[in-house]
Structure formats: structure tokens, C-alpha cells
Amino acid sequence: MKAQFAIEEVSALQAAAPELRVLDVRGEIDTTNAEDFEAVITERASSGVVVLDLTSIGYCDSAAFAALDRIIGRGGVAVAMGPENPVHRAATLMGLRFHDSVEMAATALGG
Amino acid sequence: MPGTRLPPDIAAAVALGSEAGRTFAEFNWDDHPLGPVAEWPDALRTVVTVALASRFPVVLWLGDDLTMVYNDGYIPMLADKHPQAMGMPGLDVWWEIRDIIEPMLAGVVETGVATWSDDLLLMLVDRGRPWERYFTFTYSPIFLHEGKVGGVFCAVFETTERVVGERRLQVLNTLGAALVDAKSVDETLSATVKMCAEQPADLPFVALYLEDGTGGQTLRASTPNVSVLLESAAPSAQFWGARAVDEAGGRVIDDLQERLPGLADVWRQGGPERALVMPLTDPSSTVAVGTAVIGLNPHRPLDDQYQGFCRLLADQIIAGITSAGAYEAERARAESLAELDRAKTLFLTNVSHELRTPLTLILGPAEDALALGDDPELRELLQVVARNGRRLLRLVNSLLDFARIEAGRASTQLVETDVGELTADIASAFGDICRRAGLDLVIDCKPAVGQVDPYMWETIVFNLLSNAFKFTFDGSISVQVAAGPDGTISMSVSDTGVGIPEGELARVFERFYRPLNVEGRSMEGSGIGLALVQNLVELHGGSISVTSRPGAGTTFTVTVPAMSHTHVHTAHTRPSRARRDSIYVTEAAQWLEGASGEVVGDALSAASVDRLPDRPIVLVADDNTDLRAHLERIIGSRWSTVSASDGQQALELIRRIEPDLVIADVMMPKLDGFELIKAIRADPRLESIPVMILSARAGLEATGEGFEAGADDYILKPFKSTELLNRVAARLKVAIRDQDRREREQLEVARAAVLVELGSQLSAATTEAEIVTRLLGPALSALAMDAVAIGVVQEGGDLLRMTYGGSLAPVLLDLYHTISVDAPVPMAKAVRTARSMVVPDTMQLDETYAAVVSDAAGSVRAIVVEPLVAADGVVAGALCLMWAAPREFSDAEVDLFKEIAGITARALERVRRAERDRRVAVALQDRLLDWGAHSMAAAISTTYRPASDIMRVGGDWYTITALGDTGKIALSVGDVVGHGLPAAMVMSELRSALAVAALAAGQPGEVLDLLEDYARQVPGASCTTAAYVLVDPAEGTVRYACAGHPYPVLVTSSGDVRLLEDGRRAALAVGSSLRTDSDRRQHVTQGLAPLEPGSLLVLYTDGLIERRGESIDSGFDRLVDAARTCAAKPVGEVCAYLLSALAGHGGYDDDVALVAFRPCGSTSTSFVDAFASQVSEIPGVRSRLRTWLEAQHVDAEVAYEVLVCVGEAVANAAEHGNRFDPNKTVTLEVFLSNGDITATVTDAGRWDADSADTRRLASRGRGLTLIHGLCDDVVVDRNPLGTRVTTRHRMGSRVRGTA
């Protein structure tokens, strides 16, 4: 059995930055599906810059953070996560490069 | 459908589902001589029904051709003959034992009389080879209704294991007994092979090879059947490739007969085809000293038991060799001592004779000169010469007397005399001196006429009196003589002096014995006085004894026969008044003067000594008045002198005056020369004062001792005045230069002291952790290390197991709890290269070490790594000393590190040896104990802990059996009486019987009934206790029964403790009568208790609660108290906690087996889950745990943290720990108490990941970082059986209330 995640493209910033896509990620990412997640996002990011909105993510473990590190490392992807999410503290602990809001993430990418 | 043709009774038995039943049913009986089963006589059908339904092995021989029908229990005996044997003529099946059983069967058929065979040897063929097997069985007739015997019923029980086990135990016992008397290695070897030759069943042949000093091993003994063959074919162990033998189990030679042509001819048939080559390893040094080659019985499998037997045999042989070797060495030593004694005597005789001539020539002229001269100064000098000359003469005479007696050349000149009067007269010579010393001399000599040699008697009395005077400072000395009732005369000399310590009493009559640490008036004396007295008394046919109490006084009692049968001079000698001048008295008087010499010291206050710059002060310490005066005369001519008459006084003066040089005699009362030096050197103010030691004790050894004690110079008596002056002058001149040297020495001494202290600290360490702690202790505090690590090379050699101490980041300990030997880590390199590394700043290390340097940078910046080399030269591990900040290391420190590593390596070797012994004991038990089914229905932890005395390992067991698909779990613990191999064997039999009974029977009472029946068959099983608990998690109950076993304990999740006290019965196999069925039904009692979710069940053996001298009730009380705190502890911790909480002062006297069990399920305060050790289980576990956490209203953030910690720990367990066995179980126990959540993940793996694999290390590092970062506290407990990770999460204000 694998953990489940869902990705939905939202159009919040479409007007401000038409070339930028925002992906809302929900569900759980852990050692059982982190590689799948990485593959999906890498594929989605291949055609443009992407903000991953983890504000509503339910669970991330160390494998998830490792996958996010690699995704960010390849460029073109920024991560947003609000401080209200329980995962926030762990992400900070892991040294994940993320932004507190989708807007800030987009700004970082747009620079 | 063959079954439809079976009559209903047999069909019912077949329907029970046994394999034999099916074979029976499928057999085509219609074409068989017995005909269709339905037509068989009733009697035959009944026994077939009984047999098929029975669990006991049964075989039936039916009809005229003895057709074979059997049940499942019998199949193992048939081995590969099943299923063809069903329906065959039985004697054709058992063709190989037909000769034995045919007459027995025929007898039963003809006469109708049953047979009974006990442990009968039957060589049964299996896989084409006859095997030695033993059976207990009975043949009883099956009567048809007309009274004719229609068949034979045979109930049979295989007893091979027991018979062979007992036989082997007997061999070991016999060998042990035979070796006790062996006094040499040769005797040991020949006794061994002689005994082995009498045991051809297990030991067809034995050959023993021992180290021959050239690096090889030579054949030293073998059983006679092969000795000729081996002496020519295999004279050296090399023949067997003995060098390649690995330590543990020995090596099997499979091609024995090809390798040794001619061997097969020794046996007419059935000779050994294989041999076991076992190393003979000295347990104290683990060095192989020889090899044992043991021929193997071709009719027995080489199973664990056989191999274990051979190992024990080899151990016994090596123990015999070791102790015999020690005996030989001891005897050789005794002989050489006797030889030395003879040489000493001869030497004394010669020397004494040689001395007397020049002495006479000194004394004579000196006395003449005294008579002539008038000059008072000259007279004083001459008196010194004469007095000491006479003293020397006496000493020489004593020595000569002594030597004569020793050589057997002395004879007594017995004179009939009043011994009382003679003694009183001799003793009175001491009257004056005793008065001066303030002692009462009590002379109580009754008339006692007897025959003594007056000269010798005088020597006896004077020696005893002189001795008493020397050691008595106040009180009295009394001399008594009385005639004894039995024709003896006894003379005793008692004093109220310092006494003799009890331990020294036995030695006072030894030659040259000098009391140690006993205060006397003088240290002068040759040490032969009392030995001489004893010899003289024995020459009189008498005896001497001594009694003493330290501080109270000593009494010597001489008893001699009044009348001798030898020739007696009748002359009655009058004691001469010249005795008043006896040299003994003169000498004693000098001791008194010496003591009054304190005046010298007292007169000298610090102020009174003029410290003139050009006139250094020399302190002279000697207890001999004459010598002291002599020294003062010589030294005083050039320097100021101060003198002291004993060491204590000297020390006081030295402290007061701080002289420039000290000259001290070695032997002085109160404080001898060496002790004086020690005291001076220990005082920082005085330590640089040069000390010259004066001694008469010549020889390199004595000189060495002097320098070793710290003397600056060592002057031998006699010495010339000029020589003494020169040496004192030289010594004073270089005093300044010496001071530098001494300072350096001081450093050396300090360093040595540090190492000695460290050595003694480490020698008491029993674990690697203790070694580490002690390295960080006060001994090395000067080095100010921040942390220490020890890495020990694990079996297999590719991994270092690490032990850390000091301040280090916790995550570092987890990341590097093991290090691959190939890893780019300094400690691994030290192990690979056997070289040390000194790193003043880790940042300077090259790129290779970048990973570990950055991991450790927070707490480590300077390191020293030393390889730990064992005595055999093998690198056993590495030591790492760590500092948090960079620092420089001096050359002296670098040297010191090497010494520290040496001491650590020795300590580590000791620890590992002790650990290995313990591991062997536990491994023995582990092999015997079942680790149990890894049930998915509960969290289970088991512990077996051997008694403090590891040889007592043995009788405890536990079992955990999942009962098929019912979800029920059977737990048992038990305890067989006794210890060691026999108990272990019984335990093993009972345990497997119990496991079978658990599967077969339903209820605990019945299981123990079956076990009881079985135990009655097993010798040594009597009085075994057992507890059996059947857990039904679905129903939430436990059913249980206890046979003489302490109560299992049930702890509810709220901490209520209940002892399971029902279902009691007597211990197993007690009493001799077999019980009837009605008895049995009465015994089928069992207890029933509810098992709520979250409850904890604890089973244990009595070792846990029993303590010597205490009632069992207080043991239960302690257990109940301890159990109360276990409600919220994970099962692994429960075991560890109970073991430590209930241990007595000296650990456990008895083994302890312990099972802690907590069923899966959840309550408002606990959550228990068990699942397969696979990554794919993680999402499911997380979901269940999340649901529970939400139900308990745990704050989302805390919940997430708990989930992540648990998830990471499970991932670690699944990915690393259990990667070799995905069927292992991981258990999770979460407790909510006092606002804390504790989550424990337990697995059966070791996380022994290879740290060199950097990718995996990196990902695991992330997981550990998360765990450490997201909980308030984390404890990782790793042991060989698994890993337990516990994280604690404080909810504090984050909890949202419990609506």
C-alpha cells in the first residue's frame, strides 16, 4: 500500500503571471510515494515554472522533504506553505527552502 | 470412495484428519489378505479405531502375516518407509530388525503374553543407512472373541535423544573424574584416550595433538585402535589441516576413509566415515594449544547435540591440560626451592667459617689495645670496635650453629640439670636492662630437673628474651618454667609487646623471616634467631609454639622431654656470671641508647641549626648508635650534621630543618629507609632533597630496589670514610643539576601515576560503556577531553560497533552507532592501518573525511585516534579522544595517548572475554529457547537472563505459540530443576512437548495434563514448574493454569495489578503413581480472567522474585509494586525495568525467563499495533494511529509530530533493520499519560546499516534529524535482539481538552 496525494492546478495567479502555474498539493507524501511525487512534479515543471502550494498538505516525512529538496534543486519550482500547517515546523527543521505564501513563492520565481 | 466402505467407527477415526488415517482409508483392503475392513473382526476394528485416534505412537501387527497399520505418531519412526508400509507385512517393513522383533512377536501371538522393552537399541535404516535409535515399547496381544490372538498392539516411544544424551553426559562425567587425578600433561592425555577408548559408541577414535614449541602440533596421544596408523600417517596436526580450524564448532572431515587408507580395516564394519577436528583453545589466552580429532559414529547424525558434546569434551581436555600443566610447574618450583635451601645452607657454613678467623684477629688485638691505651678518645673508638666485633662473632656463631643443624651435623651435649634454675639464671641477665627500659621482668621458674644442652638452652632463652625485649615498649616480660604432667618440661616467654599479626604467625620460624610493618626497638637482626631456636628445640626432641595478639603481646612456649634416651653427661654445670655480659644483653642495651637518641633530635630546633651558606646540613638517620656516631664523626668534619635514630624521627626533623642531604639506613624502626624516601618524595617541599641510602644488603637486586624507591645514591656497608665524604660532596654539588632532572622525573612519575590510576579504573570496567565513562573520569582529567568513543570490530570484521561518552550531539550517536571498517572515518582508518591519528583541528583533515567532520563539527574539533591492538596483535578496535575546540598536542601527550590506548585495549579485551562467556551462555539458551511466533496480534517482548554464575545456565524456558488461524496465542514459561546441560536437555524436551500439546489440546488444564504425562517419561523432569496462558484477544480473556509455578501478573491500563492465582496444581511429575482419569478430571481446573485492551500480561520464572533469605511473599510484593508502574511502559521496557528493579545486590542467583505481552487494541490512554516489517505498512499504521490521536483530541501539530516520529522509526525498521526478513514484526505502543504522549517502535533488527553508503546514510540522517527535532525526548535502545525507539511528546497547553 502507498500513501496518497492529489495535485490540483489552481488559477489564482493566472492574471498576474500567466506563464506561472500553481499546483495545490493535498494528501500525504511519505517514503512509499515520494519518488512518484517527484516524478509527477518534475514532469509538470518541465514546461514552465511552478509554485507548489503545500498549505493543505496532510503529511510529509523525511523522504518527502528529500524529494522536495531535489525538485527545488533542479530549478523552476518554488514551494509555499503557511505557518498554520503542522508540517511547517518540520519543514523548517529540515532546512527546506519554502515561502510563507504562494505570492511570495511566485515573486521568488519571477525574479 | 474408499471411505464409504469403512465401518462407521473407523470412519470416525479417519475423519479426525490424520495423515495415517487417510493412508489407511485409501489403501485397497479388498485385495489384501485381511479382506475388506468392514469384514474384519470387531476386536481388530476397535484397536484400529483407537490407534488412529491416539496421539501416542501406535503400530498394529494384524492377522497371520502381521500386516502393519499405524498412526501419525508412528510415522517419524518409519521415516521414508511411510506410506508404503501401510498394509505391508510388518516383518518385511522392518527387515533390518527382523532378527530381534520376530521372536518377540511370535511369542506374543503364541502365548498371549505381552512383552515390554525398555530403551531397546534398534538399528533402523533411513536414507540407505542404519541409524542407532532406542525405543521403549510394548507388544500386547489383540484377542479375537474366540480367544485367539488376532494381532499385536504396539505402543512405542522413541527414547534415542535421552539414551544418547545420558550416555554422553556419562562420558563427560567419567572424563572429568579421570582428569582430576592427572598430575601431568602426559597423564591427562593418556587418561583421556584411555577413557575415550571405553566409549566407542560416541568416540570411535580420538587423537590429541599439542603444540610442540616449533609452531606445529604433534600427535601426543590417541585411542589404541588407531595409534599405530596415526603415528605413521598423521604424526602432525597439519595432516588434518588443523591450522584452518575455526574456533567455534570445529571442522568436519568428510573424506576420512579416503584420507586415511587403512582406517576402515580397524573396524570390521561401521567404522567412522567422518571426523570432527576441534581446536583445543586455552580459555585464558584464547590461544590454540592443540587439536582434538574425534572420529564420528556413522550411525548417529552430527547434530547440535553431538557437536556440543564434542565441544564439551574438548573443553574438558583443555581444562585438564591446563591444570596439569600448572601442577607440573608447581612441583618443579617446590623442587628448585628445596635445592636453593640446600645451597644456602652450604654457603652459610662456608662463609661463617671464613668469617670467624679474621674476626678473632680483630677482637683479640682490639681488646689488647684497650688494655694498653689511656687516651679516652682512642678508648671510645676501640670500644666501638670491640663491641661490634663481639656482636658480629655472635651472629656468625648463630649462623654456623644454624647451618650445622641444617646440615644435620649438630649434636646435643645433654647434661642433667634443673632447667628451672638454669632458665631463671639466664633470664636474670635481662633484669637490669628491663628495669632501665621500664619493663617488669617476671621470672617464675619452678624446679624441673631434665636433660638439656646448657649452651643451647642459653641460646634458646636469650633469643626468646631478646626478641621479647625488642618488641615490647611497656608492660612486662615473663619467663616461666614448669614440669609438665607427662614427663615434659615447658618454658615460656611472654611479653606485652606489639604482637604478631595472625597472617604472619605461621612464618615467624622461617629462616630470614623479618616481620613487616611491625614496630620494634631496632630493625637489626639476621632473621634467623627464631629459626635457630626452633632447630635447637627440635634437637632436644621438643617443640615450640607461638600465640600472639596484635597489640596485646606474644607468648612463645618451648616444650622438651625431661629425660632423653641418649647419652647424658652427669656433670652439673653452674651458670656462669659471665652471662651478665652476654652479647644479647649488650645488644639490647644499645637499642635502649638508640631510643634515647631522640634527645639528639629534640635538642635541635630549626632555629638552632645554623644555616651557613657554605656549610650545608646533612641529616643522618640510623638506628645503630655506634654507626650513627661514626657517621656523625665523618660527616661532621665537613658539614653540619643532625641525627635521628629512626625513620619517623628523621622525617620530622627533615620537615623542620629541610637539610641539604639525607643519609639513611635501609632498616630502621617505625619508618624504614625506603618509606622515609617515599615520605620525602611525597612532600613537595622536600622532594628535591637528595637521599643516600646505607645498607648492608648487597646484590644488584637490593641496589635496584634502593634506586627504584627513589634513592639518589646507594652506599654499601662497609664503606671507607673517604669514599663516603667524596660521594656526599659530589651529591651536594650536583644537587642543583639534580633538581632539574628530578623535576623531569616528577613529570614521569605523575604520568605513570595517571596511567596506574587509569589502569586500575579500567580494570574494574565490565562494559564498553564503563570503559568510556572511566576514560572521561578523574584519572585523565588533566587532558580535559570533551568526549571519548570506542569502536569495537564486530564478528566478521567489517563493522565497528561504537560506544560514546561525554558531550556529543545526540544525532551523531545515532548516525555513527556503527561504522563500516571501509568508511571514510578516522576511527575506521585507524583500524584498517593500525596507526594512530593526531588531529589538532579537524578542519585540517583532508577532503576524504569531509562528511564526518561536518557531521561532528558542532561538538568535535580536535581528535586523537588510536588503534586498539589486542594481545595477539590483532586490531580489535579504535579509541577516539575528542575535544570541542582545536588544540595542540605536546610530544609527551602523544606518548601518553599510546599508553592510554594500550591500557584501554587490555581492558577491552577483558570486557570482551567476559561478554563472550556471557554470550556463549545466552546463546546456548537462545538456541534452546524459541523466540516465539512474531504474532501480529500483540506486542511481545521476551528476555532470558542467565544467573550471575554463567555455569548455572539451563532450566528456564518460555514459548509463544500462535494457535493457527484462531487468533489465540499460547504463552508458557517453565523452570526445570537443576542447571547446566542436563537441565537444558530436559527443558528442551518439555518445551517442545508443550508446544505440541498447545496445538493439540484446547484448554490450559488439558495442556498441562498432557505435559504432566510426558514429563513422567522424562528423567529429570520431576518437579518442573510451568505456567500456561491461553490468550483470546477476540474474546478479551485469558485462560490459564499453573503447575507449581509463580502467578502470572496482569496489569490493566489504569495500573491495577492482579496476580492470576487460580488454576493451581502441583509441579509436574511429582510422586510416582500414575493418575487415573477421574483424578485427572479433578485437576482440570483453570483460571479465567478478562484481558482488556491495553492490559499487560507478565510471565516469569521464580528467579525474578526469589532472593536468598527472604520469603516468597516479599518477592511477590516487590513484583506487584514494580508492575504497577508498567501500565504505560512498552513491553521491551517492561522486561528491562522489571529485571533491574527486582535484582538483588549481587544480580540474580538463578536464571530468569521473562515474557511481557500486550494485546493489540486501543483505549483512551493506549494504542498498540503490530504489523509486518514492510514499508508498505506505513500508510495503514499512520491512518490507524491518526484516527486514535484524533479521538483523543490531540492537537494537530502534536499529532503530526507523533506521526512523523513513528513513521520515520518504522521506515528505519523496515528499510534497514528487518530488510533481510520482511516477515518479522514491528510493534508500536503509544501511551497517553500525564499530558505526555510516548510512542515506542520496536523491531527485531539492528539498524546495522553500512555508513559508507552515503546516499542511504544521508536519507537516514534526515529521518533521525526529524525524530530528534520533533519530539521532546528520544531514547534509542539497541541490543542484539532488536531496536526500540521511544519518543516523548509533551502536549502541555497544546491539548484542546477532552470534551
Candidates B1060, B1063, B1065, B1110; CA nearest to B1089 is B1060
Give the percent of chain B with pLDDT over 90.
Answer: 16
Q: What is the pTM of this model?
A: 0.45
At residue B1217, the pLDDT reads 52
Mean pLDDT of B704-722: 74
C-alpha cell at B560: 622438651
User: Cβ of B1263 and A61 within 8 Å?
Assistant: yes
Pick from B1179, B1259, B1266: CB nearest A32: B1179
At residue B922, the pLDDT reads 58
**pLDDT at B1254 exceeding the cut of 80:** no
Cell numbers 561536518: residue:
B854
Backbone angles phi and psi of B208, in degrees to 5:
-120, 130
B contacts of A65 (beta carbons < 8 Å):
1262, 1266
Per-residue pLDDT of B175-213, as tens digits, reads 877 777 777 888 889 889 988 888 888 899 999 998 887
Determine the Cα–Cα distance for residues B1185 and B1230; give it in Å rounded to an integer: 9
Collapsing DSSP to helix, strand or coil, B411 comes out as coil
User: Cβ of B1215 and A31 within 8 Å?
Assistant: yes
**pLDDT at B339 exceeding the cut of 80:** no
**Region for B671 from its dihedrals, namely left if φ exceeds 0, alpha if ψ lies in -120 to 50, beta otherwise:** beta
Candidates B238, B60, B38; CA nearest to B156 is B60
At residue B1255, the pLDDT reads 41
Interface of B with A (CB under 8 A): 1175-1180, 1182, 1196-1197, 1199-1201, 1203-1204, 1207-1208, 1211, 1215, 1258-1259, 1262-1263, 1265-1266, 1269-1270
Mean pLDDT of B488-500: 90
Per-residue pLDDT of B1050-1083, as tens digits, reads 999 888 999 999 888 888 888 654 454 545 544 5
B276 versus B371: which is more confidently predicted? B276
A contacts of B1212 (beta carbons < 8 Å):
none
Interface of A with B (CB under 8 A): 1-4, 28, 30-32, 59-63, 65-66, 86-87, 89-90, 93-94
Pick from B1178, B1262, B1269: CB nearest A66: B1262
B contacts of A90 (beta carbons < 8 Å):
1200-1201, 1204, 1266, 1269-1270
Pick from B1182, B1197, B1262: CB nearest A94: B1262
Could you tell me what percentage of chain B is helix, strand and coil, using 3-state DSSP and rounding each to the nearest 5?
Answer: 45, 25, 30
For residue B231, how many other CB atoms are within 10 A of its CB? 12
At residue B584, the pLDDT reads 75
B550 versus B760: which is more confidently predicted? B550
User: Cβ of A1 and B1180 within 8 Å?
Assistant: yes
A73 versus B563: which is more confidently predicted? A73
User: Cβ of B1196 and A86 within 8 Å?
Assistant: yes
C-alpha cell at B1059: 496476580
HEC per residue, B95-145: HHHHHHHHHHHHHHHHHCCCEEEEEEEEEEEECCEEEEEEEEEEEEEEECC
B1219: distance to nearest CA of chain A, Å?
Answer: 15
B830: distance to nearest CA of chain A, Å?
Answer: 33
User: Cβ of A1 and B1177 within 8 Å?
Assistant: yes
**pLDDT at B1246 exceeding the cut of 60:** no
Cell numbers 499546483: residue:
A23
Determine the Cα–Cα distance for residues B535 and B557; give it in Å rounded to an integer: 14
A2: distance to nearest CA of chain B, Å?
Answer: 6
At residue B1150, the pLDDT reads 79
Q: Which of B139-153, B372-386, B615-629, B1075-1089 has the lowest mean pLDDT?
A: B1075-1089
Per-residue pLDDT of B767-824, as tens digits, reads 888 899 989 988 888 888 999 999 999 877 888 989 999 988 887 887 888 888 888 9
User: Cβ of B1178 and A30 within 8 Å?
Assistant: yes
B contacts of A63 (beta carbons < 8 Å):
1211, 1259
At residue B512, the pLDDT reads 66
Collapsing DSSP to helix, strand or coil, B878 comes out as strand
B contacts of A3 (beta carbons < 8 Å):
1178-1179, 1182
Element (H, E) at B110: helix B98-111
Determine the Cα–Cα distance for residues B219 and B205; give it in Å rounded to an integer: 14
In sequence order, the 6+-apart residues with CB closer than 8 A to the CB of B110 are: B149
Say how many CA atoms lie within 13 Å of B23 toward its Cβ: 20
Determine the Cα–Cα distance for residues B1264 and B1209; give it in Å rounded to an integer: 8
B1220: distance to nearest CA of chain A, Å?
Answer: 19
A contacts of B814 (beta carbons < 8 Å):
none
Collapsing DSSP to helix, strand or coil, B1178 comes out as helix
A contacts of B1269 (beta carbons < 8 Å):
90, 93
User: Cβ of A86 and B1200 within 8 Å?
Assistant: yes
Asked whether the CA dihedral B226, B230, B232, B233 is positive or negative, the reply is positive
User: Cβ of B1200 and A31 within 8 Å?
Assistant: no
Determine the Cα–Cα distance for residues B879 and B827; give it in Å rounded to an integer: 7
Determine the Cα–Cα distance for residues B593 and B383; give it in Å rounded to an integer: 15
**Per mean pLDDT, which of B254-268, B757-771, B961-975, B1022-1036 is the most reliable?**
B1022-1036
Calculate the alpha carbon distances from B293 to B230, B236, B958, B1093 in Å. Answer: 11, 11, 36, 58
User: Cβ of B1207 and A30 within 8 Å?
Assistant: yes
Candidates B264, B127, B121; CA nearest to B204 is B264
**pLDDT at B422 exceeding the cut of 80:** yes
**pLDDT at B1026 exceeding the cut of 90:** yes
Cell numbers 522413541: residue:
B158
User: Cβ of B1179 and A1 within 8 Å?
Assistant: yes
User: Cβ of B1259 and A63 within 8 Å?
Assistant: yes
Collapsing DSSP to helix, strand or coil, B252 comes out as strand
Q: Tell me which chain A residue has its CA closest to the CA of residue B1264.
A: A62
Determine the Cα–Cα distance for residues B1285 and B107; give it in Å rounded to an integer: 69
B contacts of A1 (beta carbons < 8 Å):
1176-1177, 1179-1180
Calculate the alpha carbon distances from B438 to B376, B463, B474, B496 in Å. Answer: 31, 20, 7, 13
Q: Which of B455-464, B648-657, B944-953, B1243-1252 has the lowest mean pLDDT?
A: B1243-1252
B1203: distance to nearest CA of chain A, Å?
Answer: 9
A67: distance to nearest CA of chain B, Å?
Answer: 10
A83: distance to nearest CA of chain B, Å?
Answer: 11
A16: distance to nearest CA of chain B, Å?
Answer: 34
Q: Which of A88-92, B446-450, B565-569, B659-663 has the lowest mean pLDDT?
A: B565-569
User: Cβ of B1259 and A86 within 8 Å?
Assistant: no
Pick from B1208, B1215, B1258: CB nearest A61: B1208
In sequence order, the 6+-apart residues with CB closer than 8 A to the CB of B392 are: B355, B359
ipTM, two decimals: 0.94
**pLDDT at B739 exceeding the cut of 80:** no
Pick from B1182, B1201, B1208: CB nearest A62: B1208
Count chain A–chain B contacts defined by CB atoms under 8 A.
Answer: 74
**pLDDT at B867 exceeding the cut of 70:** yes
Instruction: State the pairing for strand pair B661-665/B617-621.
Output: parallel
Determine the Cα–Cα distance for residues B1007 and B1084; give it in Å rounded to an integer: 10
At residue B613, the pLDDT reads 56
Average pLDDT, chain A: 87
Say which amino acid occupies B1273.
Answer: D
Element (H, E) at B644: strand B640-644
Instruction: State the pairing for strand pair B1087-1090/B1037-1043.
Output: antiparallel
- Chain A interface, mutation test: which of B1194, B1202, B1205, B1262, most A Cβ atoms within 10 Å? B1262
- Chain A interface, mutation test: which of B1189, B1197, B1260, most A Cβ atoms within 10 Å? B1197
**pLDDT at B552 exceeding the cut of 70:** yes
User: Cβ of A89 and B1182 within 8 Å?
Assistant: no
Q: Tell me which chain B residue has its CA closest to the CA of residue A59.
A: B1200
Pick from A3, A61, A66: CB nearest B1204: A61
At residue B176, the pLDDT reads 74
B1173: distance to nearest CA of chain A, Å?
Answer: 13
